[in-house]
Amino acid sequence: MEETFIPRPWARNPHIQTILGSFKTRSKIHYLTLVETSREMIIDGGGGVRLLGYYSPQPSQHSRGLITILHGWEGSSQSNYIMNAGTFLYREGYDVFRLNLRDHGDSHHLNVGLFHGALIDETFNAVRNISLLRENDPYFLIGYSLGGNFALRIARMQSTRKIENLRHVICVSPALDPHKATLAIDSSLPIYRHYFLSRWKASLRKKQSLFPGTYHFNDILHEKTCMSLTEAIMPYHPDFDDYREYFKRYTLLNDALADLSLPVTIITSEDDPIVTVNDFRGLKKNSFLEISIQRYGGHCGFIDFPPLECWYLKELLKILKHSYPMEREAHGIPIPER
């Protein structure tokens, strides 16, 4: 990646960038094409786990490839940044699948078990099963924040559990160290703590209402920080001795990505208020790993205005198109014009 994101001076504040990235900045009309072409699907995650997603195939057989998009913590397939990226990529000729992690979106009823960040097996299985929707086409995975963390773990699993048509994994502001990210949410602007804590508590209340014989969260919903609620909820995750072991299970630092066997691109910023840029600088070099560190962008932002534009969308398209012509032309398949 050679382009640099330099927004107008009034858009350079990292908190403005972060807030604009998550809040709805487009009308429903902007997303209408994606919504009208989406069909709800339940995807098998293995072991009886079911995950909810929305599939938007191209109207003709000619597609540039299939893309699965993973949202961040307490986001969903309907989040602004997911809908915006999905709409853009669909209009560029790609099939788009927006997958919800467990207990995100309207999916709490599908599984008795509670979501946590270490649930990589079910997410990998779901992503692999989605790939079979267009198994003869190139397949791409894009993840944001915690979804980026999941995407990176799926990428490094390719050496042992291969997704045959997966060609490239792209992550925007992935959370490499979930413990530090949680502390950053609590210690940065109060709006972040309020946003994540209120959404998490609403999710827990919904889970409790669906499975009242299994969950009794009332005694812990008074917690005032994401970190204290994480500690308080650990008894519901008996696979971990404590929150430190839990966070360690999906921390990706130092040589965690040293054995990648397919191309991975990370887009992040120096001014991210949630994810520390030094975590990316400390990653061991790998010929398959490209890291683009921008001066500005906040957390999953990279937005300039006016007009309101998301910089990284065109960068995603460059990455996707780089592998697309070689993949399709090698098999004599025409490239659809857009």
Q: Per residue in 169-198, is it b (16+ CB within 10 Å) or e — as a string?
A: bbbbbbbbbbbbbbebbbebeeebbebbbe
**pLDDT single digits (tens) 24-74:** 766 667 888 899 999 999 999 999 999 999 999 999 878 999 999 999 999
What's the mean per-residue pLDDT of the chain? 93
Nearest residue to 127 (alpha-carbon basis) of 159, 169, 80: 169
User: 9-177+256-329: what CATH class?
Assistant: alpha beta
What stretch of H or E contains 293? strand 289-294
127 Cβ contact partners less than 8 Å away, ≥ 6 residues apart: 68, 99, 141, 154, 163
User: What are the tens digits of pLDDT across the range 73-100?
Assistant: 999 999 999 999 999 999 999 999 999 9
The predicted-structure confidence for 249-258, as pLDDT tens digits, reads as follows 999 999 999 9
DSSP assignment of 92-143 equals TT-EEEEEPPTTSSS-GGG-SSPP-TT-HHHHHHHHHHHHGGGTTS-EEEEE
Global pTM?
A: 0.94
Query: Percent of the chain beyond pLDDT 90?
Result: 86
- The answer to whether residue 128 scores a pLDDT higher than 70 is yes
Domain regions of the chain by residue span: 9-177+256-329
